[in-house]
């Protein structure tokens, strides 16, 4: 065991001490509070499936209190100038940077994601706040549209209190990706974090409180999706729901929000193709293919879970993928050497294992992995897996497995690759590896995906639109796209006083 690993273990114990002793509360109107009902639920670590601690289990009563706090706070927060918001949001980023190590360790322990990624995710969270802090002063900006005898100008105003519901795969980073633009836009927030990874949401609440934001601007209510989450989506004071999670939950939320005509923004599942042509830089393609399915335990919406490989290079390329998989380091997530940690929950492990069984029944061949890992005596470890001889109609090619599992499908030519790539319900991301510029342009226009990376892994630029088509989502995040969601656009049309008004009843 290296010294850094040992230190990580020691430090995380210190950080978790209070969570192990006391129930993790909600954060409502600037205070830590327990559920009105006194109800709690347990949260365990995927490392050993031992209970870390108890979490307050919110229900409609707690959501009601949080929504009222957000509603009251909206009156003040929306009027605070962009300049002040910018300063406050930068202070939040400072606070995140100061506690980044703690956030990364807790997140890693709670979610099973390897520390090497969670350290970066914590810093990216600070970057999210800095980015939207700088945009706050111009959030209300609109357009001026000159018409005949009329002047139109548009402006944006915050939509009101919003609900933010997040998943467990990179909980802290995803929460900041939603909360930062909402606050910069002038919205107040009720956040419902995922029940399998609740801890870091409280750290964010503390940081935001310490930065000096008024009480009620950010509220956090823990609880199950079907109770706390549902109540949030149904509350009429909440004007919009930003949701990241499974496609089926998205459709549930849309139904729940229908009566109150909720505006929704959905970032949902994916079954993303990485298409590798024989003219590509195959060494770089190999790096990207392996990274985009085996990083973050494959529990990543933009993971390239379908490898579409051209027939002519199939044998050679798949051989190299296998060699890489053999060397992947599966282990304790707090070990800096670890590349793949345990899956979030026993239930999720069972789901992933279920696909191994069904793949073989459907006729795919497992050439690497395909089993629970020998490290799994107490934790949720699974072997990184490669399926070959996969047909795109198989379940493993159509459904989001959300684990370190790659399905390889071969194609003959460009049109064949395109047909396979688009033949899924999802449409989040697609990765294309070719040195033929014309082909890259042709394909990127026809691929049904919200984000396409050519000769690259998922490389994020915060002003660029992030989101999916088809069952992968509704709406886009990033830069100004985020403000379009969290704000209403208002048009103001002023006459010059010169135009003729039709005279009725004269």
Catalytic residues: 267, 301
Minimum CB separation from ligand NAD for residue 420, in Å? 20
Q: CA-CA distance, 276 to 279, in Å (whole number)?
A: 8
- Contact residue for ligand NAD among 11, 215, 246, 389 (CB under 6 A): 246
Q: Nearer Cβ to ligand NAD, position 158 or 225? A: 225
The Cα 440–Cα 424 span in angstroms is 20
Q: What gap in Å lies between CA 305 and CA 228, rounded to an integer?
A: 32
Tell me how far, at minimum, the Cβ of 251 lies from ligand NAD, in Å.
Answer: 10
Please report how close the Cβ of residue 130 comes to ligand NAD at its closest, in angstroms.
20
Nearer to ligand NAD by C-beta: 226 or 315?
226
The one among 188, 219, 233, 295 contacting ligand NAD by CB under 6 A = 233
Minimum distance from residue 438 beta carbon to ligand NAD (Å): 30
CB of 479 to ligand NAD, least distance (A): 16
Comparing CB distances to ligand NAD, the nearer of 132 and 402 is: 402
**With CB under 6 A, what is the number of residues at the site for ligand NAD?**
31
**CB closer to ligand NAD out of 135 and 449:** 449
Q: What would the two tokens of residue 294 be?
A: 């085996």
Q: Which is nearer to ligand NAD, 187 or 241 (CB)?
A: 241
Residue 129 to residue 126: CA distance in whole angstroms? 5
Please give the full DSSP string across 384-438, using - where no structure is assigned.
-EEEES--TTSHHHHS---SSEEEEEEESSHHHHHHHHH-SSEESEEEEE-S-HH
CB of 363 to ligand NAD, least distance (A): 26
Is position 119 an interface residue for ligand NAD (rule: CB under 6 A)? no
Q: Which residue has the tokens 């930065």?
A: 211
List binders of ligand NAD among 129-168 (CB under 6 A). Answer: 165-168
Nearer to ligand NAD, 117 or 168 (CB): 168
Binding to ligand NAD by residue 331, rule CB under 6 A? no
DSSP-assigned states of every residue in 189-254:
EEEE--TTS-HHHHHHHHHHHHTTPPTTSEEE----IIIIIHHHHH-TT--EEEEES-HHHHHHHH
Query: Quick one: tokens of 274?
Result: 């990485």
Task: Single out the segment in contact with ligand NAD by CB under 6 A; choices: 199-207, 247-255, 381-389, 413-421.
Answer: 247-255
Q: Reduced to 3 states, what is the DSSP secondary structure of residue 148?
A: coil
- Binding pattern to ligand NAD, positions 365-404, x when CB under 6 A? -----------------------------------x-x--
Burial of 437 (0-12, 13-18, 19+ CB in 10 A): exposed
Backbone angles phi, psi at 80, to 5 degrees: -70, 135
Q: At what angle do helices 282-294 and 314-327 cross, to 10 degrees?
A: 50
Nearer to ligand NAD, 61 or 489 (CB): 61
172 contributes a contact to ligand NAD by CB under 6 A: no
Is residue 195 within the footprint of ligand NAD (CB under 6 A)?
Answer: yes
Q: How many CB atoms lie within 10 A of CB 37?
A: 12
Instruction: Choose among 63, 58, 104: nearest CA to 200.
Output: 104
What is the C-alpha to C-alpha distance for residues 122 and 168, in angstroms, rounded to an integer?
14
Residue 3, judged by CB atoms within 10 A of its CB (0-12, 13-18, 19+), counts as exposed
Element (H, E) at 52: strand 51-56
CB of 283 to ligand NAD, least distance (A): 29
By the rule CB under 6 A, 270 interacts with ligand NAD: yes
Q: To the nearest whole angstrom, how small is the minimum distance from the Cβ of residue 402 to ligand NAD? A: 6
- Say how many C-beta atoms besides its own lie within 10 A of residue 61's C-beta: 12
Our CB check for ligand NAD shows the closer of 71 and 166 to be 166
Position among 134, 226, 287, 436 found at the interface with ligand NAD (CB under 6 A):
226
Residue in 198, 216, 245, 404 binding ligand NAD, rule: CB under 6 A:
245
Minimum separation from the CB atom of position 110 to ligand NAD (A): 13
Query: Which residue among 428, 447, 449, 462 contacts ligand NAD (CB under 6 A)?
Result: 428
- Binder among 88, 103, 114, 244 for ligand NAD (CB under 6 A): 244
Query: Backbone phi, then psi, for 155, in 5-degree steps?
Result: -145, 165
Q: How far apart are CA 43 and CA 40, in angstroms?
A: 10
Decide if residue 301 touches ligand NAD (CB under 6 A).
yes
Between residues 184 and 301, which has the closer beta carbon with respect to ligand NAD?
A: 301
Residues engaged in binding ligand NAD (CB under 6 A):
165-169, 174, 192, 194-195, 225-226, 229-230, 233, 244-246, 249, 252-253, 256, 267-270, 301, 400, 402, 428, 468, 473
């Amino acid at each position: 065991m290296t010294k850094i690993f040992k230190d990580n273990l020691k430090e995380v114990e210190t950080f978790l001490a209070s969570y192990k002793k006391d129930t993790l509360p909600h954060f409502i109107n600037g205070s830590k509070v327990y559920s009105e009902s006194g109800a709690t639920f347990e949260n365990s670590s995927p490392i050993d499936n031992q209970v870390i601690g108890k979490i307050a289990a919110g229900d409609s009563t707690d959501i009601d209190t949080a929504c009222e706090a957000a509603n009251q706070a909206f009156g003040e927060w929306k009027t605070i100038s962009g300049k002040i918001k910018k300063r406050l949001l930068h202070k939040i980023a400072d606070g995140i940077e100061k506690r980044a190590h703690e956030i990364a360790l807790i997140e890693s322990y709670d979610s099973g994601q390897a520390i090497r990624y969670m350290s970066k995710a914590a810093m990216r969270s600070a970057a999210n706040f800095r980015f939207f802090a700088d945009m706050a002063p111009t959030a209300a900006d609109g357009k001026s549209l000159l018409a005949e005898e009329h002047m139109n100008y548009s402006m944006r105003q915050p939509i009101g209190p919003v609900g933010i519901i997040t998943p467990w795969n990179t909980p802290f980073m995803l929460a900041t990706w939603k909360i930062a633009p909402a606050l910069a836009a002038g919205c107040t927030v009720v956040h419902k974090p995922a029940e399998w990874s609740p801890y870091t949401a409280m750290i964010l609440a503390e940081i935001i409180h310490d930065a000096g934001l008024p009480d009620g601007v950010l509220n956090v209510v823990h609880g199950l999706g079907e109770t706390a989450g549902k109540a949030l989506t149904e509350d009429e004071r909440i004007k919009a729901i930003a949701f990241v999670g499974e496609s089926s939950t998205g459709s549930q939320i849309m139904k729940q929000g229908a009566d109150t005509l909720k505006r929704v923004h959905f970032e949902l599942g994916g079954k993303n193709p990485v298409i590798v042509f024989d003219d590509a830089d195959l060494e770089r393609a190999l790096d990207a293919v392996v990274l985009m399915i085996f990083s973050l335990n494959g529990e990543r919406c933009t993971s390239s879970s379908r490898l579409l490989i051209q027939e002519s290079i199939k044998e050679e390329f798949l051989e190299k993928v296998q060699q890489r998989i053999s060397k992947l380091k599966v282990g304790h997530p707090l070990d800096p050497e670890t590349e793949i940690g345990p899956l979030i929950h026993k239930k999720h492990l069972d789901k992933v294992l279920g696909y191994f069984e069904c793949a073989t029944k459907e006729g795919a061949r497992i050439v690497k992995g395909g089993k629970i890992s020998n490290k799994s005596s107490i934790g949720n470890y699974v072997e990184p897996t490669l399926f070959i001889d996969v047909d795109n109609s198989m379940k493993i090619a159509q459904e989001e497995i959300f684990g370190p599992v790659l399905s390889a499908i071969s194609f003959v030519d460009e049109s064949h690759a395109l047909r396979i790539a688009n033949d899924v319900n999802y449409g989040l991301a697609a990765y294309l590896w070719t040195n033929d510029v014309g082909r890259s342009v042709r394909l990127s226009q026809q691929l049904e995906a919200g984000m396409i990376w050519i000769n690259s892994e998922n490389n994020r630029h915060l002003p660029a639109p992030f989101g999916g088509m088809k069952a992968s989502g509704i709406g886009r995040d990033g830069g100004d796209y985020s403000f379009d969601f969290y704000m209403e656009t208002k048009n103001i049309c002023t006459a010059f006083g010169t135009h003729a008004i039709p005279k009725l009843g004269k």
